[in-house]
């Protein structure tokens, strides 16, 4: 018995050491999960887009055009506007006549778009940069938009139909999950910009089964992140959904920040530009499986500029440390929900770069928001500062 117990102890120690080693080896990877190109309604070639993200410190990007993935033959007619003609000439100069297949006729200039498999080798490099095959599954019901990100899809998912917004979300979610099951490849599904056309309410999301991710921040100017006098902000929706989910015995829903980038030549708050919002994922390696599994476990934060050095949840305590910039001040807000209360509240505020919060037994979850004094460059809305959202952590009994 003593020998058996000793062996068990040694095994547990080995497991703990291995886990500690793996955690120490994990890295932070920055990425954008919502990107459009000439393959749908974006206004740039995918190679130019990937080049921008790679050169601006991103580790991964999901090319998520509407109801299409970058495969097969597709031609794009370039607008006659001098801005887009000049952009085409830049593309041609950068990649050369041997790469760019185009023709010019009386109707204008037509360019054959490169597929993901064609342009992927130009950018991808182990542990440096990775491109997700993705799709924005796009449906409408009576003028209301239901758009859903499907990250790491293996083939196009046709948009589903439904008689209500809830049905539309559920049917598209089920179609995405069916492909995951069939292919054996993990697919990250997220509900996009719920306040776009004010199509989706918190009550709608609460009725959906299997919704694990949504965009708490989207950089497109028309998505109404902050709500209005009669509509909740996406942050308020996030908390209401998670309170309901936990009361129903469901897992929490995580919040993403994304660009939803469409415009690469005109800049300002009227345009949907790159560089407004992203996620930073703590994972073992830069690989679709590793990134998605980490995100499913909540091992990421969302940001418009604030960078974290440490995010740790252990023994029901959330510990945070900001990678501070010189001359910038930070405010850390801890947000919780009591078991029998319908709303969250800010229970602790710290001015500084480090803080912690001990989650109490009568609190459903804790999340955090970090606000900086640094103005956001090319913001979603004038006056925005750089912020970060820490994912909700549930009380562990």
* Averaged pLDDT, 129-150: 98
For residue range 291-313, what is the model confidence (pLDDT) as tens digits?
999 999 999 999 999 999 999 99
pLDDT given for residue 110 in this prediction? 98
**What domains lie within the chain, and their CATH numbers?**
28-72+116-303 (3.20.20.140), 75-112 (no CATH), 305-397 (2.60.40.10)
pLDDT given for residue 14 in this prediction? 47
Beta strand 345-351 pairing with 330-338 = antiparallel
Whether the pLDDT of residue 385 is over 50: the answer is yes
* Averaged pLDDT, 116-139: 98
| Strand-pair partners of 369 | 333, 389
Phi, psi of 216, deg, nearest 5: -80, -25
Whether the pLDDT of residue 1 is over 70: the answer is no
Q: Is 131 exposed, middle or buried (0-12, 13-18, 19+ CB in 10 A)?
A: buried
- Percentage of the chain beyond pLDDT 70 is 94
Q: Which two tokens stand for residue 14?
A: 């080995």
pLDDT given for residue 11 in this prediction? 46
pLDDT given for residue 18 in this prediction? 47
Asked if residue 64 lies in contact with residue 136, where contact means CB atoms within 8 angstroms, the answer is: yes
E strand spans, the chain: 27-35, 60-63, 75-77, 102-105, 108-112, 130-141, 144-151, 188-191, 213-218, 254-258, 278-283, 300-303, 308-314, 317-322, 330-338, 345-351, 354-358, 363-375, 385-394
Asked if residue 202 lies in contact with residue 241, where contact means CB atoms within 8 angstroms, the answer is: yes
Q: Is 371 exposed, middle or buried (0-12, 13-18, 19+ CB in 10 A)?
A: middle
CA distance 63 to 49: 9
For residue range 335-384, what is the model confidence (pLDDT) as tens digits?
999 988 899 999 999 999 999 999 999 999 999 999 999 999 999 999 99
In the block, which residue shows the tokens 């030549």? 265
CA distance 149 to 66: 9
User: How distant, in Å, are the alpha carbons of 140, 191, 193, 244 from that of 207?
Assistant: 18, 14, 17, 10
CA neighbours within 13 Å on the CB side: how many for 4?
Answer: 1
pLDDT given for residue 4 in this prediction? 45
Task: Please give the residue that has the higher pLDDT: either 25 or 149.
Answer: 149
Whether the pLDDT of residue 317 is over 50: the answer is yes
pLDDT given for residue 24 in this prediction? 55
Average pLDDT, the chain: 95
Whether the pLDDT of residue 13 is over 60: the answer is no
Phi, psi of 131, deg, nearest 5: -115, 125
Whether the pLDDT of residue 276 is over 60: the answer is yes
For residue range 56-97, what is the model confidence (pLDDT) as tens digits?
999 999 999 999 999 999 999 999 999 999 999 999 999 999
Q: Which two tokens stand for residue 369?
A: 């928001």
A 10 A CB-CB count for 352 gives 12
For residue range 157-172, what is the model confidence (pLDDT) as tens digits?
999 999 999 999 999 9
Whether this prediction's pTM lies above 0.75 is answered by yes
């Amino acid at each position: 018995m003593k020998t058996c117990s000793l062996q068990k102890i040694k095994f547990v120690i080995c497991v703990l050491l291995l886990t500690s080693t793996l955690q120490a080896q994990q890295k932070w990877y920055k990425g954008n999960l919502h990107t459009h190109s000439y393959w749908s309604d974006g206004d740039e070639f995918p190679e130019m887009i990937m080049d921008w993200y790679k050169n601006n410190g991103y580790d991964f990007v999901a090319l998520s055009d509407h109801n299409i993935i970058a495969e097969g033959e597709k031609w794009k007619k370039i607008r006659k506007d001098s801005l887009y003609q000049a952009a085409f000439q830049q593309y041609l100069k950068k990649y050369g006549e041997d790469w760019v297949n185009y023709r010019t006729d009386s109707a204008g200039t037509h360019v054959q778009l490169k597929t993901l498999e064609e342009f992927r080798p130009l950018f991808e490099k182990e542990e440096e940069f990775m491109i997700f095959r993705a799709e924005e599954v796009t449906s409408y019901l009576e003028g209301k938009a239901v758009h859903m990100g499907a990250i790491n899809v293996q083939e196009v998912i046709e948009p589903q139909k439904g008689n209500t917004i809830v049905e539309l979300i559920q049917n598209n979610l089920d179609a995405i999950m069916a492909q995951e099951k069939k292919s054996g490849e993990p697919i990250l599904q997220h509900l996009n910009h719920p306040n776009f056309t004010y199509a989706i309410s918190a009550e709608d999301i609460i009725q959906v089964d299997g919704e694990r991710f949504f965009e708490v921040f989207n950089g497109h100017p028309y998505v109404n992140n902050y709500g209005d006098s009669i509509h909740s902000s996406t942050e308020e929706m996030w908390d209401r959904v998670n309170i309901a989910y936990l009361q129903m015995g469901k897992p929490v829903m995580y919040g993403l920040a994304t660009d939803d980038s469409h415009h690469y030549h005109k800049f300002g708050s009227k345009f949907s530009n790159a560089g407004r919002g992203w996620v930073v994922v703590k994972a073992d390696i830069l690989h679709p499986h590793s990134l998605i599994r980490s995100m499913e476990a909540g091992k990421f934060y969302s940001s418009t500029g604030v960078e974290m050095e440490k995010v740790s949840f252990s023994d029901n305590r959330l510990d945070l440390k900001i990678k501070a910039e010189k001359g910038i001040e930070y405010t850390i807000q801890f947000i919780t929900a009591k078991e029998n209360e319908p709303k969250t509240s800010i229970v602790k505020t710290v001015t500084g770069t480090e803080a912690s919060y001990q989650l109490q037994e009568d609190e459903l979850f804790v999340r955090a928001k970090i606000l900086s004094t640094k103005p956001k460059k090319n913001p979603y809305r004038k006056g925005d500062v750089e912020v970060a959202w820490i994912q909700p952590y549930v009380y562990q009994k």
